[in-house]
Each structure stands twice: as C-alpha cells, then as structure tokens.
Amino acid sequence: MKNIFLLLLTLSIISCENIKKKENMSLVNVNKEFFGKTSDGANVDQYTLKNSNGMEVSVISFGGIITSLKAKDRDGKNEDVVLGFDNLGDYENKSPYFGALIGRYGNRIKEGKFSLDGVEYKLAKNNGENHLHGGLKGFDKVIWDVEVEVNKSSASLMLRYTSVDTEEGYPGNLGVKVTYTLTNEDELKVKYEAETDKKTIVNLTQHSYFNLSAGLRKDILGHEITIDADYFLPVDMTLIPTGEIREVVQTPFDFREFKVVGDDIDLDDTQITYGNGYDHCWVLNNQDEGVRFVASAYDPLSGRLLEVFSDQPGIQFYSGNFLDGTLQSKEGGNYEFRSGFCLETQHYPNSPNQENFPSVILNPGEKYNSETIFKFSSR
C-alpha cells in the first residue's frame, strides 16, 4: 500500500513538472536595452521579442526599424535573416530604409505632388523628380512611443506616432499606431492603424530586406519567389507606374509559381532595364478576401521559407538593385549588389495621381486598418 502511495505521489509530481514545463515553453518574453542616441540627443531603445521556439525579432524606437530577425533553418539553427546595421548612426545617415516603417506614403509619388478637392499639395522630391517613402524625414526617421504587451502565446510592441498637419507637406494631423506581434507559430504580425482630422492620403508598409540564407550566400539570386498576382504595374524610366495594368504571362514578372530570382533578372526587357532588376508593384489577386496568402520566398541553401499574408491590393518586390557594396553589414563585410530582397505590401505607387488605382484617401471619422503577416518555417 505504501509503495502504491509513493508511486502515485511520484507520478503526480512528474505530471505537475511536465505541466509547468509546457507552460514555460509557451511563454514569450521581451527584453529592452539602450541602443543609442540620435544626432539631436534623443534616446533610442531596442526591444527584442522572443518566442518559445527561439525565434527573435528586435525593433528600435527610431523608425520602428526591425534590426534583427532570427529564424530557423532546416537544421533548427536560428540566424538573422534581415539586413541592417549594428549602430544608430548608420540607420540615421546611410540606410536605404533597412527594416523601417514607411509613411505617410510608401513608394513613389510622381513629381512630388497630388491634389485633394482641388487643393494641390507639394512634397519633397527626394528620389530624382519624385517623392519617395514619405519624404526627407518620413516615419523611418522619427522616434515612436512604444508599449509592450506579453501573454503566453505572443508578445507585442505597440508603436505610436502623431504626424502633424503639413509635416513633409501632407495635410491633417495623422495619429498612427503600428503593432508588431511575434507568435509561437513563428509569425510576425504587423497591424497598421491611423486616423486623421483632415482629408489626407495614407499608404503604410514595412521595408525589411531579407536574405534567408543568413549571410551564407552573398546575393539573393538563388532564392525562389512566388507572388499571387496575374498582373503587374509597368513603370516609366523614373519607376513611376504608367497607369497600365499588364498581365504577367510570358513576361519576366510571372511569379505565379516558384521561380528562381536570378532566372530572368538580367533579361533584355525594358521593364527590367528601368528597374535594374525587379523594383515593381504586383497587382495581387483576390483583393476582396482580406488577409490572404500573397507571396512567399524560399532559400534552397538553408531551407527557410517565408510566407506573406496581407489584406493589401499590391506588393512591391524589390531585388536590392541599389545595394552597391558601400554599406557595412552587421556581420562584417559589406552589403553587395542584390544581397537582400523586399516584399512590401501596400497600395500602388502614385495612386493619388491615378484615378484607376484603388483609393488611398483617408477622411476624418474613418479609420485606416491593415495587416500583414510574415510567417517563417523550413523544409
């Protein structure tokens, strides 16, 4: 009888310990540390979210920038798969939008101007004759207020910023909230919200550069990409959409099935020449379905798979064509030509000046809502 009692007691203790282990395994955590000071003396913190699988995402309050994202390869090794810097100064002065939140308007606006209700608004021309990614000091270069929320299955950073009326030329006081959530399913969810007190335009996105080989390969030409789109937007030589919506079939822009990035990237094609590779917006399928699968990237070398889900009508696939070896990497060495790619979910470039494109207008009393999910796995 005594032996049976001891056995039951032992089993009970083991069971309790196993339950406790499972509970601990389900926990995620957030670590905060000082990252640096801006040139005007503002403190910048870095927040690192970690889930029960060891996946980590680090974000700084400057620009809402994702400075690091560690995901597993097919051997279970977590490595950093995003491009970036190891210091704040480079993010301030040299960054080609590495990992940043982009706004008020992601992508290009022709000749830096648009009109609302007969009023013309002029923006900075910071990309040749065009406006790019919110201007000289877009959302990628401001300090965001950050709050942390943690539970057993996910950890979130809630970033807030108020863009005042006429900032970078845009009308209206725009209150913005962006929430990064890391789940135990190895998903990074990005939720965008905004409200305005005056009619304005909004197009928010996330500008991480990925290299799923985690530095093992210096370029991304061996990656395989899919984009769920039957059409893309041809551009002029300044990378402004012409207004045409062209079928991808029998063009280098057909990524409806997995295709190696390098296969067609140097073809003698006018659109490839204009972009010096891929730097175009695809017109995503099933736009009335809300958040759905829109794109994926696979690296045969590491086995990492990135799947992208979004409610946006477009996605900008950029193959790192302006990286030229002059920017020093986090790991040592430099970021070479086409060493990272972007999959930026968004509305179409230059939408305020194209009546046939989906509207980017936000009115007072309305709420801008959008969500994109980056899901990581391996095979």
280 is catalytic: no
List, in sequence order, every residue forming a beta bridge with 143; answer none if it has no partner: 62
SS (H, E, C) 277-314: CCEEEEEECCHHHCCEEEEEEECCCCCEEEEEEECCCE
Q: Are 74 and 83 in contact (CB under 8 A)?
A: no
From the candidates 207, 223, 280, 347, which is the catalytic residue?
A: 207
Q: Are 309 and 299 in contact (CB under 8 A)?
A: no
131 is catalytic: no
Rounded-to-integer distance, Cα 179 and Cα 195, Å: 15
List, in sequence order, every residue forming a beta bridge with 161; answer none if it has no partner: 176
From the candidates 167, 168, 187, 344, which is the catalytic residue?
A: 344
Collapsing DSSP to helix, strand or coil, 8 comes out as helix
Rounded-to-integer distance, Cα 122 and Cα 114, Å: 7
- What single-letter DSSP state applies at residue 251? S
Distances (CA, A) of 242 to 132, 160, 238, 239, 349: 17, 35, 10, 9, 10
Rounded-to-integer distance, Cα 317 and Cα 295, Å: 10
- Residues that are catalytic: 207, 344
